[in-house]
Amino acid sequence: MRYDWNERLEAARKDELEAASFYNQLASVAPNSVIAQILSSMAADEYGHARTLAAMMTSRMNISFPTIDPSLARPGSNDFRRGLERALQGELEAIAEYAEFAQMASTLEQKTIFLSIAGDEYGHARTFITLLAGGLG
Model confidence over 27-41: pLDDT tens digits? 999 999 999 999 999
Distance CA 137, CA 129 (A): 10
The CA–CA distances, whole Å, from 10 to 7, 15, 41, 54, 114 equal: 5, 9, 23, 8, 14
| Structure confidence at residue 5 as a pLDDT band (50, 70, 90) | confident
What is the per-residue pLDDT across 73-119, written as a single tens digit (0 to 9) for each?
Answer: 454 445 888 999 999 999 999 999 999 999 988 889 999 999 999 99
Distance CA 29, CA 47 (A): 20
Which residue segments constitute the domains of the chain, with CATH numbers given?
5-65+77-133 (1.20.1260.10)
pTM, 2 dp = 0.80
